[in-house]
Structure 1
Amino acid sequence: MSHDAIGRPMEILLIEDSLMAARLATGALSKSGLDHRLTWLSDGQEARSFLLQSGKYTRAPRPDLILLDLHLPEVDGTTLLREIREKPALKMIPIVIMTGTAGEKEITEIESLDVQGFLVKPVDLTQFLKLVETLKGYWKTDMIVKG
């Protein structure tokens, strides 16, 4: 009996205020071979509205993965991460933190909020692709399989 995977592209939400970091992430995802759709937002307030499907984002797709910068305008990434983990509809979404600066205390706090990865910018392309490969495993378990 063969199994055919029936699914949709992975919905990825990139929350990053740096154009260069966003280009690196989108380029790496393109090279990964992961079938995905990407939404890029550059500030925390917009990301909050997107995730809560409010305002102009009432029809926004629920992300399957969030790539989150910690230092964002409007609402910082740590605050946004806490809010995501407090919402039952959002708390199970895998989150990878991408940041240029993070002290030991900040890293410890972030890790306590159940993140699936932590990348320090400038992000090493090989490290990023390895993490994407690992995250593909999360996605495969969510796909519908027809026997």
Structure 2
Amino acid sequence: MERVLRNLLIVDDNPADVRYTEEMLKEAGVECDRHVVGDGVKALQFLRQRGEYADAPRPDLVLLDWYLPRKDGQEVLAELRADDRLAGVPVVVVTGSRLEAEALRVESEAADACAVKPIGADELRRFAERLGGARRLA
């Protein structure tokens, strides 16, 4: 059965970065339902379908900012991977520093990929196709 990217969770506390990511997804031709949360606690609530996110869909791909309020990306990723129900959700860790992204690629086996902000349309399309199962539309 072919996987299709239906639901994308963007975890980022910077509204400008979220808007840019959404613009790049459109430019890349990646069509899916996009969900946005602004901190690590809300990300875990969304993923675990708790509280206001009780009806949240399971994301096919998570774009996870490394620096978040309340719980940072490292904590979110560790909890996600420790949860048997969520361990298989693909995660792209996003950071603002190229050096940090390189270090994360080496150090973090839990992330499926790492990227530097801002993520361009082509890179987002590759992540969506490779990790989220998206079919290219254009």
| TM value normalised by structure 1 | 0.77
The aligned residue for residue 79 of structure 1 is 75
The aligned residue for residue 26 of structure 1 is 22
- Does structure 1 conserve the Cα–Cα contact (< 8 Å) formed by 2:20 and 2:118? no
Structure 1 residue identity aligned to 2:57: P
The aligned residue for residue 88 of structure 2 is 92
- For the pair shown, the structure with the greater C-alpha radius of gyration is 1
Deviations 1:61-97 (A, max 9, x none): 1111101000000000011001111111111111111
The aligned residue for residue 58 of structure 1 is 54
- Does structure 2 conserve the Cα–Cα contact (< 8 Å) formed by 1:29 and 1:132? no
Matched, 1:122 2:122: no
Matched, 1:134 2:130: yes
CA RMSD after TM alignment = 2.5
Higher strand share: 1
CA distance in 1, matches of 2:102, 2:4: 38
State the 1:24 CA deviation: 1.5
CA distance in 1, matches of 2:134, 2:126: 15
Mean CA deviation greater in 22-31 or 115-124: 115-124
CA distance in 2, matches of 1:91, 1:52: 11
CA distance in 1, matches of 2:126, 2:44: 28
CA distance in 1, matches of 2:47, 2:101: 27
Equivalences for 1:11-50 in 2 at 5 Å? 11-50=7-46
| TM value normalised by structure 2 | 0.82
CA distance in 2, matches of 1:103, 1:47: 21
CA distance in 1, matches of 2:4, 2:130: 18
Specify the SS of the correspondent of 1:40: strand
Aligned length: 133
Structure 2 residue identity aligned to 1:21: D
CA distance in 2, matches of 1:103, 1:12: 21
Change (3 A) 1:41 1:12: same
CA distance in 1, matches of 2:2, 2:79: 32
Mean CA deviation greater in 37-46 or 115-124: 115-124
1:108 to 95, 106, 109: 106
Specify the SS of the correspondent of 1:122: coil
State the 1:9 CA deviation: 6.1
Change (3 A) 1:32 1:81: same
